């Protein structure tokens, strides 16, 4: 279909008024995907907490501080730095820790140090520091101590929904069309997003968030295809890369709303409503012309081409019948040139053929590794930004903001210096920046933040271009399989990312260090991949294996 595709955009414009309006309208809802992917940062935020005393408290001691209320102790309290001692109205003295409390036996003087006998009791309830987190699901449902794992399971469960949603909706969109999936997933994002705020218990919360993850992932997968099928080859790199930029805007929205709203269910509703204008116009989205022609809906396709021409200020002279004839002719020529290779094509539609030779096995393993570290690093830097010290809202905002220039630079670099020469240095830079965190003194938080944001910036470049790079590294007969399997590795990385972030409980910079080491190693492996800039797309495995073994041509070929 290459000839027909090129002619359509040559005559109607690669990115004129019609495509521009449709593009920005479609990626607006991608902001919602970024919002819901990162919303859990503040939904499951755990403030400082202690076991609650069994009766009214009259006096409080913590180290050298003497107070009359637990609400006043949070300014001084540091978890793990000793218990808080309280005296109740009945005269009992208790030592309160986050997950247990001890009753002092036969205590006479009310002082911080006590060397007598104590009775250990489990917590009957908890008291929380509401100075920063007024209300989260952790404080509502006491997801601390022995229930802490439930709070930590919310994001991995969400990412599992992302994985399943990508598989389900990508396939369904090929069967029933891009437009109905965009409308359905966009509407369900709104419905599930609001419903999350009114869940009355943890398990219903996780279930609705899982469904929200599926439809958010489905929208993000299909919108990439949708905007690609409406934009020409001259701008396709830019339009596909900047869907990621809309996702990054969603991260910044999460930081802003999280700063302004400290009650989780109000926060969730506001986040969902922020992209609700999408519902007002999504029903006007047309189906893509190539899907209509592929399904034989030529009358609808002709009406769409005429509409595109009208909005772009061009005469409606392009006919679907001409495009169909050109596509059929191109397909016939390809079949003749292949000289009976159809049987070979059928045999090669297996993932094993991505590893059919030593060269292809190394290439496939490296590509999978880039997909994996791109996703792992992306979400580790985003989810873990709030743990880096300083202002967590500014940290998360910066984690989204650094992505926008990364995609601009990535687009320029990959079309000028090459795919490999952009991807490998980006991974190496991200790896070095993260590993340098080891030598940063803990009291210089700003330096650690700068290094972490540098890592996010660099890995975002590699993550943004790997889709196109994978398309160019593999031949037509297994190209979709290569991208699909790479996308699966991407989802595996996103599921593992929350668990990696939790390693910050061991050492605050351990997640960034792990990502840095992996990124550096994978960056070195990327240097052994062939350069694809200026190379024509390959049709057979033999041609794909030959990439890099012959000099680049001057002619630029885009996928």
Tokens of 44: 């499951």
Which pLDDT belongs to residue 327?
55
Q: At what angle do helices 358-384 and 392-401 cross, to 10 degrees?
A: 140
Q: Is 86 helix (H, G, I), strand (E, B) or coil?
A: strand
Radius of gyration of the chain measured on its C-alpha atoms? 28
Reported residue count of the chain is 559
Which pLDDT belongs to residue 345?
44
Phi-psi sector, 44: left (phi>0), alpha (psi -120 to 50), beta: alpha
Supply angle C-alpha 100, 203, 248, rounded to 5: 95
From CA 414, how far away is CA 417, in angstroms rounded? 6
Please say whether the dihedral angle defined by the alpha carbons of residues 117, 121, 125 and 130, taken in this order, is positive or negative.
positive
Report field, pTM of the whole predicted structure over 0.95 = no
First to last CA, the chain: 13
Q: CA–CA distance from 385 to each of 36, 90, 370, 485 (Å)?
A: 16, 45, 22, 29
Alpha helix (H) residue ranges in 30-110 = 30-38, 40-43
Which pLDDT belongs to residue 325?
62
Supply angle C-alpha 554, 231, 363, rounded to 5: 50
Q: Specify whether the CB–CB gap between 492 and 372 falls below 8 A.
A: yes
Please say whether the dihedral angle defined by the alpha carbons of residues 194, 157, 463 and 449, taken in this order, is positive or negative.
positive
Residue-wise burial string across 209-244, b where 16 or more C-beta atoms lie within 10 A, e elsewhere: bbbbbbbbbbbbbbbbbbbeebbbeebbbebbbbbb
Q: Report the 10 Å Cβ neighbour count for 374.
A: 30
Which pLDDT belongs to residue 550?
53
Diameter of the chain measured on Cα atoms: 99
pLDDT tens across 68-81, in order? Answer: 888 888 888 888 88
Q: At what angle do helices 178-196 and 264-273 cross, to 10 degrees?
A: 160
Supply angle C-alpha 196, 200, 203, rounded to 5: 75
pLDDT tens across 227-251, in order? Answer: 878 887 778 778 878 888 899 999 9
For every one of its 559 residues, what pLDDT tens digit does the chain have, with 9 covering 90 and above?
Answer: 445 566 788 888 888 899 899 999 998 999 999 999 999 999 999 999 999 877 788 889 988 888 888 888 888 888 888 899 998 888 888 999 998 999 988 888 888 888 888 999 888 889 999 888 899 999 999 999 999 999 999 999 999 998 888 888 877 887 888 889 999 999 999 999 999 999 989 999 999 999 999 999 889 888 888 887 888 777 877 887 888 889 999 999 999 999 999 999 999 999 999 988 888 888 889 988 888 887 888 888 888 889 988 888 888 887 877 776 665 544 444 444 444 444 444 454 467 778 878 888 999 999 999 999 999 999 998 888 888 877 889 999 999 999 989 988 988 888 888 889 999 999 999 999 989 888 877 777 888 888 989 999 999 999 888 888 887 888 767 776 787 788 888 889 988 999 999 988 888 888 989 999 999 999 999 999 998 887 776 777 788 888 877 554 444 444 3
Q: Which domains does the chain have, with CATH numbers?
A: 1-46+134-339 (1.20.1250.20), 49-129 (no CATH), 348-559 (1.20.1250.20)
Q: Specify whether the CB–CB gap between 453 and 433 falls below 8 A.
A: no
From CA 212, how far away is CA 349, in angstroms rounded? 33
Those residues whose C-beta lies under 8 Å from the C-beta of residue 53, and which sit 6 or more positions away, are: 70, 86, 88, 94, 96, 101
Which pLDDT belongs to residue 5?
60
What does DSSP say about strands 84-88 and 65-67: parallel, antiparallel, or unpaired?
unpaired
Phi-psi sector, 227: left (phi>0), alpha (psi -120 to 50), beta: alpha
Phi-psi sector, 103: left (phi>0), alpha (psi -120 to 50), beta: beta
Burial of 35 (0-12, 13-18, 19+ CB in 10 A): buried
């Amino acid at each position: 279909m290459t000839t027909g595709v090129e002619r359509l955009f040559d005559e109607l414009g690669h990115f004129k008024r019609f495509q521009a309006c449709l593009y920005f309208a479609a990626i607006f809802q991608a902001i919602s995907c970024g919002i819901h992917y990162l919303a859990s940062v503040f939904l499951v935020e755990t403030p400082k907490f202690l076991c609650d005393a069994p009766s009214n408290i009259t006096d409080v001691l913590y180290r050298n501080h003497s107070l009359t209320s637990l609400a006043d102790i949070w300014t001084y309290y540091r978890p793990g730095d000793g218990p808080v001692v309280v005296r109740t109205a009945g005269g009992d003295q208790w030592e309160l820790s986050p997950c247990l409390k001890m009753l002092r036996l036969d205590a006479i003087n009310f002082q911080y140090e006590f060397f007598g006998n104590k009775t250990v009791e489990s917590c009957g309830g908890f008291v929380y520091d509401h100075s920063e987190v007024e209300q989260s699901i952790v404080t509502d449902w006491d997801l601390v101590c022995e229930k802490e794992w439930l709070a930590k399971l919310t994001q991995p469960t969400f990412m599992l929904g992302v994985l399943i949603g990508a598989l389900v909706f990508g396939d369904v969109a090929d069967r029933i069309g891009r437009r109905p999936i965009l409308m359905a997933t966009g509407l369900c994002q709104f419905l599930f997003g609001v419903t999350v705020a009114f869940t009355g218990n943890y398990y219903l919360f996780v279930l609705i968030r899982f469904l929200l993850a599926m439809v958010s992932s489905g929208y993000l997968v299909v919108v990439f295809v949708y905007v690609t099928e409406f934009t020409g080859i001259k701008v396709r790199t830019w339009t596909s890369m900047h869907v990621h930029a809309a996702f990054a805007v969603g991260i910044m929205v999460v930081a802003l709303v999280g700063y302004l709203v400290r009650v989780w269910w109000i926060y969730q509703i506001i986040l969902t409503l922020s992209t609700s204008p999408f519902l007002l116009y999504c029903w006007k989205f047309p189906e893509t012309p190539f899907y209509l022609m592929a399904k034989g809906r030529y009358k609808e396709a002709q009406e769409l081409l005429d509409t595109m021409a009208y909005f772009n200020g061009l005469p409606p002279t392009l006919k679907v019948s001409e495009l169909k004839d050109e596509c059929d002719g191109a397909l016939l020529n390809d079949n003749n040139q292949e000289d009976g290779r159809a049987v070979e094509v059928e045999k090669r539609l297996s993932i094993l053929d991505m590893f059919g030779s030593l060269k292809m096995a190394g290439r496939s393993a490296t590509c999978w590794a880039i997909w994996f570290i791109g996703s792992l690093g992306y979400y580790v830097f985003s989810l873990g930004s709030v743990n880096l010290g300083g202002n967590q809202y500014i940290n998360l905002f910066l984690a989204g903001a650094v992505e926008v220039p990364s995609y601009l630079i990535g687009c320029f670099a990959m079309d000028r210096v090459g795919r490999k020469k952009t991807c490998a240095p980006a991974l190496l830079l991200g790896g070095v920046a993260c590993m340098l965190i080891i030598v940063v003194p803990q009291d210089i938080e700003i330096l650690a933040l700068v290094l972490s944001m540098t890592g996010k910036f660099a890995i975002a470049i590699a993550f943004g271009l790997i889709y196109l790079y994978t398309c160019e590294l593999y031949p037509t007969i297994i190209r979709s399989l290569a991208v699909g399997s790479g996308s699966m590795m991407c989802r595996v990385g996103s599921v593992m990312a929350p668990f990696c972030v939790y390693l910050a409980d061991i050492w605050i910079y351990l997640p960034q260090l792990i990502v840095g080491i992996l990124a550096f190693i994978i960056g070195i492996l990327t240097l052994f991949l062939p350069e694809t800039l200026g190379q024509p797309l390959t049709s057979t495995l033999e041609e794909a294996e030959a990439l890099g073994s012959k000099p680049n041509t001057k002619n630029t070929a885009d996928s």
